[in-house]
Amino acid sequence: MSQWTHVNGIVRIDTMRYDLYIGGLTPWGSEGPLNVVVWQSPAPNSIAKFTVSIFGDLRDYNNEEEVVAFFENLATMDGFWIRSGVFEVEVEGLEPSIYQFNGEKFVKVFPASPPQTRRTKCSETDQTL
Q: What is the CATH number of the domain that holds 80?
A: 3.30.70
116 lies in a domain? Answer: no
For residue 24, is it within any domain?
yes
Residue 129 domain-assigned (yes or no): no
Burial 19-45 (b: 16+ CB within 10 A, else e): eeebeeebbebeeebbebebeeeeeee
pLDDT computed for residue 97 by the predictor? 97
Give the predicted TM-score (pTM) of the model: 0.80
Within a 13 Å sphere around the CA of 47, how many CA atoms are in the beta-carbon half? 2
Task: Give me the residues of the chain with pLDDT under 70, please.
Answer: 18-23, 113-129
pLDDT value of position 20: 64
Alpha-carbon distances, residue 23 vs 20, 38, 43, 85, 109 (angstroms): 9, 10, 25, 17, 25
**Number of domains forming the structure of the chain:** 1
Confirm whether 118 is domain-assigned.
Answer: no
Domain membership of residue 88 as a residue range: 4-111
